[in-house]
């Protein structure tokens, strides 16, 4: 990399031979050339060593084209004449060439990207589906927000030896042994901390499913990390072996046994440098520095994120904007949509389906600043890059609006909604929005119906929030259409009450009861069914409820046959 900097620094000096022929004895000219060369060395050092840019033809043009153009124009101005009587024709020609180069570079930056938008749409190769999200149960849904994971992780960091050398890295949800965790590597606080420590001590895990679990420090010494310096820097270490690849993103990925790896997504540019394509990952052992390149279809199963967040985000933008080209995205706007802007929160959410596959999920809205509803949502497989657009949620509440609903609900407490996730819960498109206080402490789980914002359930625990959401569905959404899927079907049952428990909650009473021969706990509020207040053991009842195959179910209607009420 340093040798390349010295070689390409020659492009910073005067490139017209006749100028050198007439001025090589001029001390000021030579001094000026030396200064330009040193500036070129510094520029190259930053480009290739610090920024670790790919060493490809397109990179040489992009990063040095303007250098050559600017140098030719500058030399045409400074050295337009050899002397008062002899014009420097080669310098003048060089100036013209420099101007043409500038025009070419401006075209590549400003005009060319407009001409390839159709290609960018086609490279996404998105599929359109009318199907709904597959139903999810309570155990499949991560409810611990990133903010709370960071809060708990920082508390554990304070117990790590020489903790003042380190800081928490970027947390990411990972599937390890079938369960979801927030995984956060420790990073150096700065150059001198790296110099003294030499390696980081490990990483911290926090359950993404159980907010009551504690974060845990996993000891695993790591030398090659993104925050290390000089030759220990992870990307610089990779660049030494793979100089021409485009590094697109880094994901910290422990395997099923907890052994840490960095999965560095790589690929190449198409359409000059305006379209990038992920070809696979380079898996690096951060302790030894050993690395192995895996093509896209051969990536080990424990690696969840092959397609980086930034690539998934741009694919969503291309798919929503450029179906009919660039001009339509600005003027006609036929079939145009955008990933919803969530006011600084990451628009893409890592979601795991029932098979354990990770997807980048986001909702799309109309290309209007104040739009509060979706036109659909996308799921992009984080290992294959396959994008599917679902029309089923057209006209429903988008993620930004779901956050606003939650924050209005807890306005007095000033709790904030975190990144919303869209799921199919009890047959309803549902936004799951955990809330945190100003310190990042988790306060409530909130489930908001995407079809009707008045239908929501919240609770201090995941189970309480789900139970309250069941009740909200049964109370506010009438008719069988409210729960159309097999995961949350309407069921009728008759039986004799085996046990009853009543709990007074503010202006309402929660009635829970068991039927003889049934393990299910039936739940109903007296505001929904006033005569439920008089339910006693031994009463015969007819119950219509939402069968979610869970222990607690919400009753839609109940008739007390004994009381004929």
Please, what is the average pLDDT of the chain? 88
Q: Are 181 and 174 in contact (CB under 8 A)?
A: yes
Q: How far is C-alpha 468 from the chain's CA centre?
A: 29
Residue 53 has pLDDT above 90, yes or no: yes
pLDDT tens for each residue of 229-285: 999 999 999 999 999 999 999 999 999 999 999 999 999 999 999 999 999 999 999
In this predicted structure, which of 130-134, 261-265, 527-531 has the lowest mean pLDDT?
130-134
User: What global pTM score does this model have?
Assistant: 0.82
Percentage with pLDDT > 90 across the chain: 55
Closest CA to 336 of 324, 321, 350: 321
What is the β-pairing status of strands 552-560 and 521-525?
parallel
Instruction: Find residue 186's DSSP bridge partners.
Output: 168
Task: Region of 168 please: left (phi>0), alpha (psi -120 to 50) or beta.
Answer: beta
Q: Are 200 and 187 in contact (CB under 8 A)?
A: yes
At residue 480 the predicted structure's pLDDT band, cuts being 50, 70 and 90, is: very low
Per-residue tokens: 320: 């929503």
Query: What does the pLDDT average to over 529-548?
Result: 89
Closest CA to 545 of 452, 459, 485, 480: 480
Half-sphere exposure of 468 (CA within 13 A, CB side): 18
Please tell me which residue, 2 or 329, carries the higher pLDDT value: 329
Residue 81 has pLDDT above 80, yes or no: no
Q: What is the 3 state secondary structure string of 56-96?
A: CHHHHHHHHHHHHHHHHHHHHHHCCECCCCCECHHHHHHHH
Calpha distance 134→106 (Å, rounded) = 47
What is the β-pairing status of strands 552-560 and 442-449?
unpaired
Q: Where are the domains of the chain?
A: 1-120, 126-141+323-483, 160-306, 490-560
Q: How far is C-alpha 337 from the chain's CA centre?
A: 19
In this predicted structure, which of 39-43, 282-286, 387-391 has the lowest mean pLDDT?
387-391
- Three-state DSSP state, 152: helix
Superfamily of segment(s) 490-560: Nucleic acid-binding proteins (2.40.50.140)
- Give DSSP secondary structure letters for 247-299: EEEEEE---TT----EEEEEEEEETTTTEEEEEEEEEE-TTT--EEEEEGGG-
Residue 62 has pLDDT above 80, yes or no: yes
Which residues are CB-neighbours of 437 under 8 A, at least 6 positions away?
Answer: 413, 414, 415, 416, 443
Calpha distance 252→335 (Å, rounded) = 37
Closest CA to 521 of 550, 560, 496: 550
């Amino acid at each position: 990399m340093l040798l390349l900097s010295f070689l390409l620094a020659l492009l910073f000096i005067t490139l017209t031979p006749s100028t050198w022929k007439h001025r090589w004895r001029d001390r000021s000219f030579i001094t000026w050339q030396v200064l330009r060369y040193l500036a070129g060395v510094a520029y190259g050092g930053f480009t290739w060593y610090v920024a670790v840019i790919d060493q490809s033809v397109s990179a040489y043009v992009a990063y040095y084209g303007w250098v050559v153009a600017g140098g030719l124009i500058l030399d045409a101005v400074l050295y337009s004449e050899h002397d008062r009587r002899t014009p420097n024709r080669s310098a003048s020609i060089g100036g013209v060439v420099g101007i043409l180069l500038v025009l070419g570079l401006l075209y590549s930056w400003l005009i060319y990207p407009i001409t390839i938008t159709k290609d960018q749409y086609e490279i996404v190769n998105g599929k359109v589906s009318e199907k709904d999200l597959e139903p999810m149960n309570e155990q499949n849904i991560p409810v611990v927000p990133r903010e709370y994971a960071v809060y708990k992780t920082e508390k554990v960091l304070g117990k790590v030896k020489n903790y003042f050398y380190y800081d928490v890295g970027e947390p990411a949800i990972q599937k390890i042994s079938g369960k979801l965790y927030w995984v956060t590597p420790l990073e150096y606080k700065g150059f001198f901390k790296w110099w003294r420590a030499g390696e980081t001590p490990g990483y911290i895990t926090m359950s993404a499913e159980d907010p009551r679990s504690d974060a845990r420090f996993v000891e695993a010494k790591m030398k090659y990390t993104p925050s290390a310096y000089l030759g220990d820097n992870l990307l610089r270490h990779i660049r030494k072996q793979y100089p021409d690849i485009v590094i697109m993103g880094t994901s910290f990925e422990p395997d099923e046994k907890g052994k840490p790896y960095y999965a560095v997504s790589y690929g190449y540019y198409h359409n000059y440098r305006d379209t990038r394509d992920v070809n696979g990952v380079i898996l690096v052992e951060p302790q030894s520095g050993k690395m192995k390149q895996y093509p896209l279809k051969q990536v080990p199963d424990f690696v969840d994120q092959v397609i980086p967040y930034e690539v998934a985000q741009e694919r969503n933008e291309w798919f929503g904007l450029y179906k009919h080209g660039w001009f339509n995205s600005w003027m006609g706007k036929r079939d145009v949509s955008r990933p919803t802007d969530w006011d600084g929160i990451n628009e893409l959410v890592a979601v795991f389906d029932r098979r354990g596959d990770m997807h980048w999920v986001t909702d799309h809205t109309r290309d209007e600043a104040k739009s509060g509803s979706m036109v659909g949502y996308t799921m992009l497989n984080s290992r294959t890059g396959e994008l599917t657009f679902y029309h089923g949620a057209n006209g429903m509440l988008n993620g930004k609006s779901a956050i606003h609903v939650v924050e209005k609900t807890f306005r007095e407490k000033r709790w904030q909604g975190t990144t919303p996730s869209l799921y199919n819960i009890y047959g309803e498109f549902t936004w799951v929005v955990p809330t945190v206080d100003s310190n990042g402490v988790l306060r409530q789980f909130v489930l908001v119906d995407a079809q009707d914002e008045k239908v929501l359930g919240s609770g201090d625990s995941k189970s309480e929030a789900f139970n309250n959401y069941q009740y909200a569905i049964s109370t506010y959404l009438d008719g069988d259409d409210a729960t159309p899927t097999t995961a949350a079907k309407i069921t009728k049952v008759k039986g004799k009450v085996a046990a009853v428990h009543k709990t007074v909650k503010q202006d309402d009473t929660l009635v829970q009861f068991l039927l003889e021969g049934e393990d299910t706990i039936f739940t109903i509020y007296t505001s929904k069914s006033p005569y439920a207040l008089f339910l006693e053991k031994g009463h015969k009842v007819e119950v219509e409820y939402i069968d979610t195959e869970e222990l607690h179910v919400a009753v839609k209607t109940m008739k007390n046959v004994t009381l004929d009420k």
